[in-house]
Amino acid sequence: MVSHPLKDFIVRFKSGDRIYREGDRGSEMFIVQSGAVEIYRDLGDHVQVLAVMEKGDFFGEMSVLEGTPRTACARAAEDSEVIEITSAIFDRMIRGNIEIAVRMLRKLSSRLQESQWKMDTPQADGTTAANATDLDRSLPLVRDEPVPPTPVDVGGGSRIQLPPDCMGALILGEGEQVFPIKGEVCLIGRYDPVTGTRPEIDLTPFDTNRSVSRRHARVTASGSKLFISEEVGALNGTFLNGKRLTPGKSEPLQSGDTLALGMVLLKLQGR
């Protein structure tokens, strides 16, 4: 068995153990190896959970990048293993796991966009968020928890009845879940609490092994045709009718094609 390349940096926490508290000085970031970690604010009379980090998610990176105090608390939501990354091994980490590097860039990009939006948006008192407190600006960008997509009704026969605004659908199993394809771009992946990104086709509830990357692949429409491409940094591969896709290269789709993303199998139904 191949050992984990960063096994010497794995730290174990019992459920409820605090990893750090708001205001602490630190020079480490963390990657969840197993279990789950809550990022939260201690408001005195109650705790506000901001995000739940799972395997592959990272947190505390601003202390590595900027040496700033922690802007929230972190604790193990269950028995967990996290990889403690100091600035000395940061470069080694991103070279060995491109998905972490790509997601970190997306997170920082999201924060910049959010900051720009706050700067440009007037508040109720007529000011802009440029006058907000440092504490407000330092809060993690967190979205709502993911919700399972709504199934499309199954009609008679072997085909599934699709809404008129769909170009097709990806079908899980024998039709137990249907993901309509709408718009020019349809991202496939899992909810990402780090960046707050929820893909149009969210496989989170169905990928119990977490084999699908947060941003795994995308379906694009060109005229009446559909194409599939794997996202840069996706792990575990994307297979179209058994053939592995080259990351970033689009391949045409036809009704009846099968897609394997990690351990999740989908079938395309065209109109």
The identity of residue 242, as a single letter, is: G
| Angstrom distances, CA of residue 27 to CA of 24, 43, 86 | 10, 25, 6
Q: Is the confidence at residue 226, as pLDDT, over 80?
A: yes
Q: Is CATH 2.60.200.20 the right assignment for the domain spanning 168-270?
A: yes
Give 186-221 pLDDT, tens digit per residue: 999 998 876 677 899 999 999 988 889 888 999 999
Confidence class of residue 26 from pLDDT cuts 50, 70 and 90?
Answer: confident
| Angstrom distances, CA of residue 223 to CA of 167, 185, 226 | 10, 12, 8
Strands 10-13 and 201-202: unpaired
Domain with CATH 2.60.120.10 in the chain: 7-111
Report the C-alpha gap between 227 and 246 in whole angstroms. Answer: 13
Domain with CATH 2.60.200.20 in the chain: 168-270
Q: What is the pTM of this model?
A: 0.54
Report the Cα 41 to chain-centroid distance in Å.
22
Kindly report the number of other CB atoms within 10 A of residue 13's CB atom.
Answer: 20
Give 2-19 pLDDT, tens digit per residue: 455 567 789 999 999 999
Residues in the chain: 271
CA angle in degrees (0–180, nearest 5) for 22-146-116: 60
Give 97-142 pLDDT, tens digit per residue: 666 666 666 666 565 555 555 555 555 555 444 443 333 333 333 3
Confidence class of residue 156 from pLDDT cuts 50, 70 and 90?
Answer: very low
Kindly report the number of other CB atoms within 10 A of residue 1's CB atom.
Answer: 3
Q: Are 247 and 98 in contact (CB under 8 A)?
A: no
Looking up tokens 């085909």 gives: 159
Nearest in space to 213 (alpha carbons), one of 150, 264, 250, 147: 264
Give 64-102 pLDDT, tens digit per residue: 777 778 889 999 999 999 988 887 677 666 666 666 666
CATH tag, 7-111: 2.60.120.10
